[in-house]
Amino acid sequence: MDYLEIANGPILLLLCALTIGVVAVQAIIFVWMAWRRGQEIGLTKQVMRRTMTNSALFSIVPSMPIIVMMLALSQALGRYFPWLRLSVVGSAAYEGMGADLAAQSMGLEGFTDPDMTPKIYVVIMFVMTVGIVWGILFNIFFMNRLDKFSKSQKEKVAGGFITIFSSALFVALLVTLSVPYVANVQNIQAIIAFVSSGVAVMILNKVAEVTKWRLLSDFSLPIALIVGMATVILYVQVV
């Protein structure tokens, strides 16, 4: 049996659609509750509409890399599961990495290996789903305590251990995600994307600082992502 019969089958479509539907309903409920709360604290409808519009516009451009990754994963993992993963708690960086690691643990070169079987496909789905759930569980059970502890330490000592530790964790996260690509001299495209995006962010922030155009600074990250992708496309076409 071809694994794509499962991946693109009606049962998986139904299960993914139900899950995404629950998340969509939650989002609608949260927006409704936020609107009511805004009215309670005296915010005008004009202010709330402008906030919602700006938030929606700001969400479009950063979502473009996620859509690209969803299309890329769909070629090998079917139409529905990547749609589910990247619509709920997944991320563009994690999903591809998780799928690759799961496939390699089963003896394949990666999740695009033509020797994929239904069994391996189920393993990939399991790893991608379970591998990211621990952050959610941690937030549910421990984030409130961690937040209180962090606030108390910041109030006691400005720039103390918590501030340094949080900054170190953030830098470590960036290093973990970027080094496998940037330090790989065989992958010139990744290095070009990294450098061009970084330069674009610095230029945009500097222009925003000089012109006092805050919106340009707010959109510096998504614009830089597009600049990075466009630079790589140009490099591939020219070189």
pLDDT in tens, 49-89: 888 887 777 777 667 778 878 888 898 899 999 999 988 88
Task: Tell whether 136 is covered by a domain.
Answer: no
pLDDT of residue 204: 87
Task: Tell whether 174 is covered by a domain.
Answer: yes
The answer to whether 196 and 231 have CB atoms below 8 angstroms apart is yes
Task: Looking at the structure, tell me whether residues 178 and 120 fall in a common domain.
Answer: no
79: left (phi over 0), alpha (psi -120 to 50) or beta: alpha
pTM value?
A: 0.65
- Residue 157 predicted with pLDDT over 70: no
> Considering 86, 114, 131, which residue would you say is the last residue of a domain?
131
Task: Looking at the structure, tell me whether residues 9 and 73 fall in a common domain.
Answer: yes
Task: Tell whether 147 is covered by a domain.
Answer: no
Task: Tell whether 149 is covered by a domain.
Answer: no
pLDDT of residue 229: 82
Task: Looking at the structure, tell me whether residues 164 and 117 fall in a common domain.
Answer: no
> Considering 131, 147, 181, which residue would you say is the last residue of a domain?
131
Q: Name the residue range of residue 186's domain.
A: 159-238
User: Hey, what long-range contacts does 172-181 have (CB within 8 A, 24 or more apart)?
Assistant: 177/93
Task: Tell whether 195 is covered by a domain.
Answer: yes
Task: Looking at the structure, tell me whether residues 12 and 85 fall in a common domain.
Answer: yes
- Residue 182 predicted with pLDDT over 90: no
Task: Looking at the structure, tell me whether residues 125 and 231 fall in a common domain.
Answer: no
Task: Looking at the structure, tell me whether residues 8 and 47 fall in a common domain.
Answer: yes
Task: Looking at the structure, tell me whether residues 8 and 124 fall in a common domain.
Answer: yes
Number of domains in the chain: 2
Task: Tell whether 148 is covered by a domain.
Answer: no
User: Hey, what long-range contacts does 215-222 have (CB within 8 A, 24 or more apart)?
Assistant: 218/58, 219/58, 219/61, 221/62, 222/58, 222/61, 222/62, 222/64
Backbone angles phi, psi at 9, to 5 degrees: -85, 165
Q: Is residue 36 very low, low, confident or very high in pLDDT (cuts 50, 70, 90)? A: very high
